[in-house]
A and B are shown apart, each in its own frame.
Chain A
Amino acid sequence: MNSKTTSSRPERHLTTGLRVYLLRHLQVFFYSLGQLSRSPFATLMTAAVIGIALALPTGLHLMLKNARQLSGGWDGATQISLFLKRTVQEEQARRLANQIRNLPGVAGVRFISRREALNEFRRLSGFGDALTALEDNPLPSVLVIQPTLAASDPGKTGRLLQRLRQYPAVDIAQLDMQWVKRLYAIMNIVQRGVLVLAILLGIAVLLVIGNTIRLAIQNRRAEIVVMKLIGGTDGFIRRPFLYTGFWYGVFGGMIAYLLVTLSVSILAGPIEKLAGLYQHHFRLTGLDAEATLLLLLIGILLGLGGSWLAVGRHLREIEPA
């Protein structure tokens, strides 16, 4: 009896079999899309929930990225002030400045003599007259050291600072912008927070899709029973639901992209204006091609994963009786 049925089976011709298999996949691919478009409102609702859940961590990640870019500009502003002992003569100080200029990791050294320091202080403080009354200049000479860009991360500047402290002529060595360091620490914490949030929201997306697919399975119970009765494999029955999950992931990812891009375009203007007030040129960056692709990919993976979970749990429960 088997010879009769197998002889007409297409699997005998491997290439035909493969072509048919791919064609079936393509058909289910578009069939599931068609099914979703039959109830556009419900589909859109689910996709919007997924989109918002994906947009939140994506937006936060983008904010962090921008903040890092901004603080990258401030890294250059990290500088070390060396206040020399008051006993150090100007000639001696200039020699020290030249010496430091040749150290690795140092981009430049500006020498401020005691006189210059006093003049500057007068100009800036408004205590001009009070200072003229003093006979002696109370201010030390200062060397302002600019680390190279490569050496401007907190660890390397810290080491440079230690080294500069060793010079006997140095009274106080002070790293300006300690807060850059703190900012980095804060950003690292925020980054972890975003990661945790992303994971939680990813799980939420998984559950939303899983639940949606579960309802779809229940709605098509009769169809599943018939499929099983006439020899549909689990893989065959599973396929349209997996593609449905896939589409939810795609749509969710697309909505997330739109939401994030919209938010960026709303914020870009005011932020540029704000940066302008600080004489800082800054452009808010949006999602680049790579990030967009990643967002879609994550959406798709969550869509497939969610439907896989639902299908695995609920398909077995439906058996013809």
Chain B
Amino acid sequence: MIRFTHASKRYTSGFDALQDVSFHMPAGQMAFLTGHSGAGKSTLLKLIALLERSSRGQVFVNGQNLGKIPRWRIPYFRRNIGIIFQDHQLLFDRTVFDNVALPLIIAGYPQREIGRRVRAALDKVGLLGKEKVYPITLSGGEQQRVGIARAVVNKPPLLLADEPTGNLDPELSREIMTIFEEFSQVGVTVLVATHDIALIETLPYRVLALKNGKLHYDSDPSEET
């Protein structure tokens, strides 16, 4: 599903955020991406979502060489990826329902289908009763779950999460991770960037660790690399 081959990222400032990173993540796998602050976790996720482009090497997602995707195709490419952010990136002037419905509206789903899918997604994150409220009235954990519902509402085969539990207490963090595990169990590929070593040590998933932009540790290297 995801393959990095000697990928590097140098920002225009001249800073090398990633250097010669190679790994492979098969479809349906769940993995954690860790590393110190500034190690390059967000940068790696951005390369996968085409929010940035690699300066050297290649990144493949679902067999597609991202370097070959032209600018105008990026939106269509991103519809196959659910992205979850630490700061949620919700729209506060729209209801929970409208926030979650946004990816479907963008992709042009018919109205009936939208209602059905939004409710299914909200149900999955345990927020079915909250569809009419505005995100500002929700707790941090609930807001994060709205963000997850939005990311999964159009059933993307790949989920990326950048520190989804950054601001949450351990119990809430655990809950969020359980949601991700459930998606992983139905075949979704999940890559979660997190600082939370304590939490991921209790879980049986692959861990990729970055250090100063280099892939420093891989608990479970895929043979196909």
Contact = CB atoms under 8 A, between A and B. Distances in A.
B108 A20 contact: yes
Nearest to B64: A2
Interface residues of A, number: 30
Grouping DSSP codes into helix (H, G, I), strand (E, B) and loop, the A interface class, with mixed when no group exceeds half, is: helix
B113 A10 contact: yes
A21 B108 CA distance: 7
Nearest to B93: A223
A231 B51 contact: no
A227 B80 contact: no
A231 B157 contact: no
Interface string A96-112: 00000000000000000
A24 interface: yes
B166 interface: no
Contacts of A20: 108-110
A226 interface: yes
Interface residues of B, number: 32
B79 A230 contact: yes
A231 B155 contact: no
B106 A231 contact: yes
B156 A5 contact: yes
A227 B51 contact: no
Contacts of B79: 5, 230-231
A225 B83 CA distance: 13
B172 interface: no
A298 to B, nearest CB: 32
Contacts of B106: 227, 230-233, 236
B103 interface: yes
Interface in A8-43: 8-11, 16-17, 20-21, 23-24
B138 interface: no
Interface of A: 1-2, 4-5, 8-11, 16-17, 20-21, 23-24, 222-223, 225-234, 236, 319-321
27 contacts: A1-B27, A1-B80, A2-B157, A4-B157, A5-B79, A5-B80, A5-B154, A5-B155, A9-B108, A10-B109, A20-B109, A222-B89, A226-B89, A226-B90, A227-B106, A229-B78, A229-B89, A230-B79, A230-B106, A230-B150, A231-B77, A231-B79, A232-B75, A233-B106, A234-B75, A236-B106, A320-B51
